[in-house]
Amino acid sequence: MTQAQKQQKPSLYLEVCCQSEEPRLSLKTSIVLFLLSYCECKCFKAFLVSSRPPDHRKLPEFLDVSASQPEDLPQLVKGCRLPAVLDETGRLCRAGLAVVLRHIINKTLEVDPSRNDVQALLGFKKTCLKACAEVSKWTRLCEIGIPSAVEEHLQNPTNQYQQLPLFILTLEQRLAEPVKVHNDDKIRRQKLHEQRQNEKNDSPGGKVHVDNESQPGQSAQVPDTVELRAALAKLSVEPVPALTTRENSEIRKVKTTALPPLERVFAEGLYFTLTDVVLLPCIYQYLCSLQDHTACTLRRLPHLRQWYSRVQEVPGVLRAAKACGMTLSIANFSMTRTLEESVEDNPTTLPEQEQHQEMTTELPFVGGPRPTLTKLKENGIEAVFAPHPRPGWTLPWDNLPGAINPAEGKMSNIRAVRKRQQLNNLVAMVIDLARPGYTIVDFCSGTGHVGIALAHMLPDCQVILIENKEESLVRAQSRSTELDLKNIGFIQANLDYFIGPFHIGVALHACGVATDMVMEHCIQARAAFVISPCCYGFIQNAVNFTFPKSKGFQETLTNKEHMILCRFADQTAVQLPPERRCIGKQCMGLVDLDRSWAAETHGYSVQVMTMEPESCSPKNNMLVGRPKQKSGLEISANQKEAVAQN
């Protein structure tokens, strides 16, 4: 590929599975292709990444597709899980299903802002699948849970007789739940109005009010409900019919709490969104496979089948599916639901009640941190802060280009001073650890203060900035372009999607478990780390980590007691009384001590220190970890590079 071609369009890299004898498109690839088809998006040059040439028959014809060998991928893309998009500059890579899908929507709308149907996919406040999988159980279910459950099922479709995957059951149950949508009052009143009309019609002598538009025949498969009409109206940009008649005032008097609940129409609620786009290729393949192998199982998924036939009502869905080789209308699973069926075969309750709300549960709090601190002390555990090896070291701020300086932005003067102080601390530690040829990753990079300073100070190293928030990363990229930095790359993704080798991981103010995720990532890559944690109170929202993490703490504290430490670790704000802040700092030190002990069991030496000056942030802890080697300190850069390339 020549440079000129590369600059025409962003490149979209898609995964092909080669485990079986026939290379086939992965489910995630099918989802991306389906969205491209739905959007009729021609903004990308697509590459099917595979060691063997895949079957081109199922690809949308309008798409510009070629094959690529995994080893030929650009370096930045190689470091990411697919799907991924590399922008025209070759410096910004977007990776992961949700990020790539949202980007396709963005590109489609940039070309054609009139595509309301495409805009609507992003849902209310345009947040559909935006929260990352670590935070949102719903994103996790849709982005990871369902696709991988179906992928697993497809590997071995006959084996799972009658056993429905938990994720599928969760979805089935979710589809049965009534919905709340923003401003649903109007639709619920409309529904009440229609219910009353129907009652009147049914009662003899009542005023007959036949609605000639809804033909009885039509309602057999897809019932003509207020919900469905509202949902489809949204896509065609027609307003929901408003109440106009005398009933209006009568209906309007009904209290909100007395209004009928709305039935779920699509996965997120009333409206067809990106979530449905993700689910359709998965559920299509899953239902087809059940049909072929264990058709009776279909009876246990009434809501899923109903959803599946509703989705086909959405304008554009059948066309898009056909273009990707999904012949939806042939696969017709909408058996009529009998009463017995819905009684007998209702999906069994889930083994563990999965809740779908975002996790905002606060621990009921009793007492202060003192009993916990005392307990630790009695067991010989106290916060230890290692001395700062480079107190007073500072970046040459006066001689640095403006774009590196945090004062550049809209930051207040005092915040800019503190930010510079924080950067001094992290950069000093990284410079100590870095060797020529190292790759340094700035996790949670935000607008790139740390990463850009590092790239400037360490021209012999490669710096990669990873950030989930697009706006931040785009700003980081434009600042780096201004500085003409060559040794820098950008990845918009959850850090899960970064799999490339690196030598040092950095994170400034990694919130809650983000600190633990970065540490885990570094440990897996045998990389050193320099992390300043933040928002200890969020630690209780952990999905993937159990606290305390280390054996020493586990033997002394229960999870609840540890959470007390986390909670009080956040009480270090300057406006608090000094003794409270002092306890806060101790709690912070203890939470990080537990983290450092856990890392030490993986062969690391870890120090918890305080950034200089202490006032640079209320969250002024810094964890510095180095992988221990049998001989000497670390493997040389060259050796590591060789390992990485194998």
Ligand X SMILES: *[C@@H]1O[C@H](CO)[C@@H](O)[C@H](O)[C@H]1NC(C)=O
Q: How far is the CB of 445 from ligand X (least distance, A)?
A: 15
Q: Please say whether the beta carbons of 414 and 452 come within 8 A.
A: no
Among residues 92 and 171, whose Cβ is nearest to ligand X?
A: 92
Among residues 308 and 438, whose Cβ is nearest to ligand X?
A: 308
Among 329, 379, 636, 639, binds ligand X (CB under 6 A): 329
Strand 621-627 with 528-534, pairing: antiparallel
Distance CA 377, CA 544 (A): 28
Among 544, 559, 638, 639, binds ligand X (CB under 6 A): 544
Q: Which of residues 255-314 bind ligand X (CB under 6 A)?
A: none
Q: Which of residues 10-49 bind ligand X (CB under 6 A)?
A: none
Tell me the CB-side half-sphere exposure of residue 298, using CA atoms within 13 A.
24
Spatial CA neighbour of 425 closest among 617, 628, 633: 617
Q: How far is the CB of 56 from ligand X (least distance, A)?
A: 28
Among 341, 496, 561, 600, binds ligand X (CB under 6 A): 496
CA distances from 143 to 81, 288, 517 (A): 13, 21, 19
| Contact flags string 102-141 toward ligand X, x per CB under 6 A | ----x--xx----------------------xx-----x-
Q: How far is the CB of 393 from ligand X (least distance, A)?
A: 35
Q: How far is the CB of 132 from ligand X (least distance, A)?
A: 9
Hey, what amino acid is at 23?
A: P
Contacts of 427-431 with CB under 8 Å at 24 or more apart are: 427/395, 427/453, 427/454, 427/457, 428/390, 428/393, 429/389, 429/390, 429/530, 429/622, 429/624, 430/454, 430/458, 430/504, 430/506, 430/530, 431/457, 431/458
Q: How far is the CB of 1 from ligand X (least distance, A)?
A: 25
The verdict on 212 binding ligand X (CB under 6 A) reads yes
Among residues 18 and 474, whose Cβ is nearest to ligand X?
A: 474
Hey, what amino acid is at 153?
A: H
- Strands (DSSP E) found in 62-111: 64-68, 84-86, 92-95
Angle at the Cα of 81 (from 18 to 151), degrees rounded to 5?
50
Among residues 158 and 360, whose Cβ is nearest to ligand X?
A: 360
Query: What is the residue whose two structure tokens read 């049998």?
Result: 630
Among 26, 197, 225, 334, binds ligand X (CB under 6 A): 334
Q: Please say whether the beta carbons of 187 and 226 come within 8 A.
A: yes
Q: How far is the CB of 223 from ligand X (least distance, A)?
A: 13
Among residues 25 and 518, whose Cβ is nearest to ligand X?
A: 518
Among residues 179 and 542, whose Cβ is nearest to ligand X?
A: 542
Spatial CA neighbour of 270 closest among 233, 243, 303: 233
Among residues 122 and 461, whose Cβ is nearest to ligand X?
A: 122
Q: How far is the CB of 472 from ligand X (least distance, A)?
A: 9
Spatial CA neighbour of 473 closest among 8, 99, 47: 99
Q: How far is the CB of 136 from ligand X (least distance, A)?
A: 10
Among residues 283 and 429, whose Cβ is nearest to ligand X?
A: 283
Distance CA 481, CA 501 (A): 25
Among 22, 161, 203, 210, binds ligand X (CB under 6 A): 210
Among residues 419 and 479, whose Cβ is nearest to ligand X?
A: 479
Hey, what amino acid is at 64?
A: D
CA distances from 140 to 32, 171, 495 (A): 17, 12, 14
Spatial CA neighbour of 236 closest among 313, 291, 180, 157: 313
Span near ligand X by CB under 6 A; candidates 244-252, 327-335, 412-420, 441-449: 327-335
Q: How far is the CB of 372 from ligand X (least distance, A)?
A: 27
User: How many chain residues interact with ligand X (CB under 6 A)?
Assistant: 18
Span near ligand X by CB under 6 A; candidates 72-80, 87-95, 329-337, 441-449: 329-337
Q: Which of residues 465-484 bind ligand X (CB under 6 A)?
A: 470-471, 474
| b/e burial code for range 564-582 (CB count within 10 A of at least 16 → b) | bbbbbbbbbeeeeeeeebe
Q: How far is the CB of 220 from ligand X (least distance, A)?
A: 7
Among residues 159 and 219, whose Cβ is nearest to ligand X?
A: 219
Among residues 209 and 253, whose Cβ is nearest to ligand X?
A: 209
Positions that interact with ligand X (CB under 6 A): 106, 109-110, 133-134, 140, 210, 212, 221, 329, 332, 334, 470-471, 474, 496, 543-544
